[in-house]
């Protein structure tokens, strides 16, 4: 039932081809998982993976094949907490919680693994001085503080993605500045951080929800495609497109969100690529809606599913 989904809930998602994991919060503070494995299932109390602060933000990252999944949230003391899934062990607490990393009470979260790797996990959050801080995890060093990415709008959404650009590992982080512009912050292995304030969307709604994902149009080529989704004042959501081959586009998608809804996005390679966006769209009350573009939704604005995800 949709009454099992908090409004507005944080939403996080990870995927591999034709397999998805969606995370949300219940009204009682539980973090739950809904799965897609040739059909949707889960989302009920038996799919609880942990508990978090009421109104917690959520972020998730996964290694190839969904073999290792980390879901990040905040505790009642506004410290970062991690629940980690490992095959044959199930869910347990991740190491980041032992560090007592304090963030702003209004901080959102983002997380990303590099492609094709189970090492070098990154997490982004907003500190009490309103700057965006990176934390890094490697198998050899555990969690360490990374770079500070500068000030942003207090309570900004934070979204991040990682990909291989040619032979280089790359990171893109998106936040909203105090003037409400959505900006892109870039990192390449050879350059470090650069082009830190490139405006992607000018004058977006205050504290708009946003989500980034990436894919290759052809799994065998090196062209990278980015898709950023953000919510407009009327509840609609837009897509910004960037392709390393030169493709650029920006347009409104099919579907509408409830006020204050958060969003999450995932993608996987293909011809056409498969894109999914998850948000609270008002179906069955607070249910989570899936928007799709791909082989079954080859329109320029995608399409929304008739039924919400379980447990709605």
Handedness of CA 8, 184, 161, 139 (dihedral sign): negative
Given the candidates 3.30.300.170, 3.20.20.70, 2.120.10.70, 3.40.50.300, the CATH classification of the domain at 2-304 is: 2.120.10.70
- At 218, the pLDDT band (50, 70, 90 cuts) reads confident
Distance CA 107, CA 58 (A): 10
Summary mean pLDDT of the chain: 95
- pLDDT reported for residue 29: 98
- pLDDT reported for residue 270: 85
Residues β-bridged to residue 223: none
Q: Is residue 8 over pLDDT 80? A: yes
- At 223, the pLDDT band (50, 70, 90 cuts) reads confident
- At 212, the pLDDT band (50, 70, 90 cuts) reads very high
Q: Is residue 168 over pLDDT 90? A: no
Evaluate whether 286 touches 5 at the Cβ level (below 8 Å).
yes
Q: Is residue 209 over pLDDT 90? A: yes
- pLDDT reported for residue 217: 77
- Residue bearing tokens 């329109």: 299
Q: Is residue 47 over pLDDT 70? A: yes
292: number of Cβ within 10 Å = 17
- pLDDT reported for residue 1: 65
Q: Is residue 311 over pLDDT 90? A: yes
């Amino acid at each position: 039932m949709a009454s099992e989904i908090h409004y507005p809930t944080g939403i996080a998602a990870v995927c591999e081809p034709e397999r998805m994991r969606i995370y949300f919060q219940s009204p009682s503070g539980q973090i739950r998982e809904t799965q897609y494995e040739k059909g949707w299932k889960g989302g009920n109390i038996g799919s609880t993976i942990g508990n978090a602060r009421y109104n917690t933000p959520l972020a998730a990252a996964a290694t190839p094949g969904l073999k290792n999944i980390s879901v990040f949230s905040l505790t009642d003391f506004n410290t970062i907490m991690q629940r980690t899934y490992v095959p044959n062990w199930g869910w347990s607490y991740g190491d980041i919680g032992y560090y007592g990393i304090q963030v702003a009470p209004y901080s959102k979260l983002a997380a990303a693994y590099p492609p094709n790797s189970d090492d070098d996990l990154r997490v982004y959050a907003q500190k009490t001085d309103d700057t965006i801080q990176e934390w890094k995890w490697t198998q050899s060093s555990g969690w360490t503080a990374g770079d500070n990415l500068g000030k942003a709008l207090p309570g900004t959404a934070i979204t991040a993605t990682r990909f291989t650009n040619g032979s280089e590992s790359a990171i893109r982080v998106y936040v909203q500045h105090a003037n409400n512009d959505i900006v892109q912050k870039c990192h390449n292995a050879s350059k470090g951080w650069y082009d830190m304030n490139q405006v992607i969307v000018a004058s977006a709604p205050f504290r708009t929800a946003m989500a980034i994902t990436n894919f290759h149009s052809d799994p065998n080529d090196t062209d990278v495609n980015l898709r950023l989704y953000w919510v407009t004042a009327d509840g609609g959501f837009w897509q910004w497109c960037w392709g390393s081959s030169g493709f650029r586009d920006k347009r409104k998608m099919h579907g509408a969100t409830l006020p204050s809804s958060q969003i999450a996005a995932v993608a996987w390679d293909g011809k056409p690529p498969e894109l999914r966006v998850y948000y609270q769209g008002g179906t069955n009350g607070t249910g989570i809606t899936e928007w799709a573009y791909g082989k079954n939704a080859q329109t320029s604005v995608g399409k929304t599913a008739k039924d919400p995800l379980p447990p709605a």
